[in-house]
């Protein structure tokens, strides 16, 4: 049952199985329903360390565009202090099945410019809220989030990776694919690949009163996907991500004022008055982050 004066937190899950796993973790809760602009939400309450939270759960659907719409609607409906995009991802680097990725930022890797000779990447980046990235490390360090999972004795617990994700509207099913090669070249530090995180963050930064983070569980390692493995691993990965996100919400102190949450990264500014400097800029390939956290990786930022 929801508390009138408690702050709201929203959980968006792209897939029904992700929604089901998160809802099952709140099995003891008294659920209500709410419909806003034809979007259905399940609502309940969660007691945190510092306050009680009202919680809304919804299925956001696939891909970045649908995620952006879902986040915008949820923010308009609930004016939440916190929003999580929770679900599964393909793992990269040293990921293992069941690991959790608490995204520090998300790369939108599909932007670019195509010429007669080549495709020039213009990969964009948006960060998760600083407050949530800091609290996520504390939740990981304390380890109490694992209690929700009821792991078998002596089983290795899933690890939590505090690293970037890469998001695009493609299912990548092979490590030798063109997109996998692009990610290896331009987004080498991305711990996982998913399809909705950049859209969720893009919508959230337009609402500066909400903190936002993408939390994913690793359900596959990109290559070697098959239906049997997905059926076994996807629920586990979704449950692990949901358990971590709920523990993170329980850790948070509510904000007492408005307008103090996450703000968008500043875009770099330059003048076109100096053509020599512009040519020099256009020859630079960016590998890593600029100091403002914007247009992070790939191609160039200025002339191409």
Alpha carbon 104 to its chain's center: 8
Tell me the pLDDT tens digit for each residue of 19-43.
999 999 998 879 999 999 999 999 9
> Looking at residue 10, what is its pLDDT?
98
Burial class of residue 79, CB neighbours in 10 A (0-12, 13-18, 19+): middle
pTM of the model: 0.82
> Looking at residue 292, what is its pLDDT?
40
Residue 279: pLDDT above 70? no
* CB distance 39 to 73 below 8 Å: yes
Tell me the pLDDT tens digit for each residue of 187-239.
999 999 999 999 999 999 888 789 999 999 999 998 778 889 999 999 999 99
Domain segments of the chain as ranges: 8-262, 270-304
Domain 8-262, CATH among 1.10.3720.10, 3.40.50.620, 3.40.50.1580, 1.10.260.40: 3.40.50.1580
Beta bridge partners of 120: 113
* CB distance 81 to 96 below 8 Å: no
Alpha carbon distance, N-terminus to C-terminus of the chain:
54
Closest listed residue to residue 55, CA positions, set 25, 1, 10, 4 = 10
Q: Where does the chain show beta strands of DSSP type E? A: 8-13, 32-36, 39-47, 52-59, 82-91, 100-102, 105-108, 112-114, 119-121, 124-127, 160-161, 165-167, 192-194, 211-220
Distances from the Cα of 49 to the Cα of 17, 39, 97, 115, angstroms: 28, 30, 30, 54
Give CA–CA dist 262/210, Å, rounded.
Answer: 7
Report CA torsion sign: 236, 242, 243, 245: positive
CB-based contacts of 247, cutoff 8 Å, min separation 6 = 139, 144, 145, 148
* CB distance 82 to 252 below 8 Å: yes
Closest listed residue to residue 180, CA positions, set 57, 97, 190 = 190
* CB distance 164 to 190 below 8 Å: yes
> Looking at residue 178, what is its pLDDT?
85
């Amino acid at each position: 049952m929801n508390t009138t004066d408690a702050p709201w937190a929203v959980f968006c899950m792209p897939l029904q199985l992700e929604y089901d796993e998160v809802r099952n973790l709140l099995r003891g809760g008294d659920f209500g329903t709410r419909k806003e602009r034809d979007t259905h939400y399940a609502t309940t309450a969660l007691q945190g360390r510092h306050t009680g939270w009202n919680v809304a759960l919804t299925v956001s659907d696939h891909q970045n565009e649908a995620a952006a719409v879902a986040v915008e609607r949820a923010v308009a409906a609930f004016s939440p202090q916190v929003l999580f995009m929770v679900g599964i991802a393909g793992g990269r680097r040293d990921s293992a099945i069941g690991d959790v990725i608490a995204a520090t930022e998300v790369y939108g890797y599909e932007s670019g410019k195509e010429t007669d000779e080549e495709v020039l990447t213009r990969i964009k980046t948006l960060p998760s809220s600083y407050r949530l990235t800091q609290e996520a490390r504390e939740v990981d360090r304390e380890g109490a989030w694992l209690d929700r999972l009821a792991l078998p004795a002596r089983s290795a617990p899933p690890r939590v990776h505090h690293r970037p994700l890469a998001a695009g509207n493609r299912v990548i099913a092979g490590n030798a694919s063109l997109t996998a090669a692009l990610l290896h070249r331009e987004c080498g530090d991305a711990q996982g690949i998913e399809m909705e995180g950049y859209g969720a963050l893009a919508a959230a930064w337009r609402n500066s009163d909400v903190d936002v983070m993408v939390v994913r569980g690793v359900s596959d390692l990109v290559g070697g996907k098959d239906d049997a493995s997905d059926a076994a691993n996807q629920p586990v990965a979704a449950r692990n991500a949901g358990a971590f996100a709920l523990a993170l919400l329980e850790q948070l102190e509510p904000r007492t004022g408005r307008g103090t949450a996450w703000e968008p990264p500043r875009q770099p500014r330059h003048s076109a008055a100096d053509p020599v400097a512009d040519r020099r800029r256009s020859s630079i390939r960016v590998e890593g982050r600029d100091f403002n956290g914007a247009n992070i990786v790939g191609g160039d930022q200025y002339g191409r």
